[in-house]
Amino acid sequence: MADGTLALPPTSVVSGVQVQPTPGDNCFGAFPRPSVYARIAGEDICFVLESMMLGIRLGIAGQLGVALSAILAVVITGSSLFALRSLVQSTEQAHRQHLASEAQLLADQLATFHGTLKTSTQRLATLFERRFESGLTLDPATGGNEPSLYLDGERLNGNFVLVDEFTNLTGGAATIFARAGDDFVRVTTSVKKQDGARAIGTLLERKHPGYSRLIEGQSYVGRATLFGREYMNQYTPVRDTAGKVIAVLYVGFDYTDTQREQFDGLSAFRIGNGGSLAVLDDAGQWLVKPAGATDLDAVTRAAEHTNAGEGFEWAHGNETFVSMVAPGRS
């Protein structure tokens, strides 16, 4: 080392940054003086070691000190870049976790809301069913006429006393269906159509989610849209003395206005500068649309193919949004 060139092992590793010695006349190809070569993120970097004192060559100890300073600068630079990248990643992860918690909170709130509706509707159904404890009698349809349903000898078809009395007392809707073959026809109801007329003479659709249970003699509780209004419903089958299902008692709770107020509040809610809450139902319809989304079909497809607790990205103009998915419960 008579020429003053710093001697380093063939390969030295300092905090994960690989440093190699380079002869003084090869580093950058132009400096006949002590130098240290380093490679960071694929870039070659050469540190030339020169004295801060005019005309005096550094001794071995001085050169070592400068070399270590250069190595330290390399390590600090690499560590800073790594820390910055880690900070960006951790910040994005924190944002996703926050969005996921907001989505889950919303799902839980909706589940609580629907659970309360379901419990209230079941209680209403119990009250309505007590009015028919003496039993119903069915006179099957003949000659194209609808079947007649009787309670204690009194025909219920077109008789709105019981259903209106129940609605006025509880605020819930009530309907009585009579069985006609494999169908159930409304013979009396307090439910009204969009034009204000009572929905009597209409059938319970066979594609209704409760139809298959009712025809088998099982009750059904669930949400449904009836004549443009949202209801939480309970359908209870009624059997005759032979055990055959002859009628269905229906009670529904109209929560359309309450839900609209709730969803209006959710639509106005913002997370940060541009984040929002959105609600997609099981039919693929947006009850609360994501703010800023213009291609709802694309967002819908992405949401439907994303697992619970995971996220997906979608674009609006020049901006990219991240959405997190939380499943709702009926």
Same domain, 87 and 165: no
Question: Which residue among 113, 147, 180 closes a domain?
Answer: 113
Last residue of a domain, one of 50, 80, 113: 113
Distance CA 240, CA 247 (A): 9
216 and 222 Cβ atoms separated by less than 8 Å:
no
**How confident is residue 55, by pLDDT bands cut at 50, 70 and 90?**
very low
pLDDT at residue 236, as a whole number: 98
Is residue 96 assigned to a domain?
yes
Residue 196 lies in domain: 134-254
Q: Could you tell me the CA-to-CA distances from 254 to 12, 120, 198, 230 in Å, in that order?
A: 75, 11, 15, 6
Is 250 found in the same domain as 139?
yes
In a domain, 43, yes or no: yes
Q: Is the pLDDT of residue 97 over 90?
A: no
pLDDT at position 271:
74
Residue count (the chain): 330
**Would you place residue 246 in the very low, low, confident or very high pLDDT band (cuts 50, 70, 90)?**
very high
pLDDT over 70, % of the chain? 68
Give the residue, 260 or 300, on which the prediction is more confident: 260
Number of domains present in the structure of the chain: 3
| Residue keyed to tokens 């055959």 | 244
Q: How many Å is the Cα radius of gyration of the chain?
A: 38
Q: What is the mean pLDDT of the chain?
A: 75
Residue 189 parent element (H or E): strand 183-189
pLDDT digits (tens, 9 = 90+) for 165-215: 999 999 999 999 999 999 999 999 999 888 989 989 989 999 999 999 999
Q: Which helix (H) or strand (E) holds 138?
A: strand 136-139
How far is residue 32's CA from residue 319's CA, in Å, rounded to a whole number?
53
In this structure, what CATH number is given to the domain that contains residue 189? 3.30.450.20
Asked whether residue 126 is assigned to any structural domain, the reply reads no
Torsion angle of the four alpha carbons 17, 20, 25, 28, in this order, in degrees rounded to the nearest 10: -30
In three-state form (DSSP H/G/I as H, E/B as E, the rest C), the secondary structure along 49-105 is: CCCCCCCCCCCHHHHHHHHHHHHHHHHHHHHHHHHHHHHHHHHHHHHHHHHHHHHHH
pLDDT band at 322 (very low <50, low <70, confident <90, very high): confident
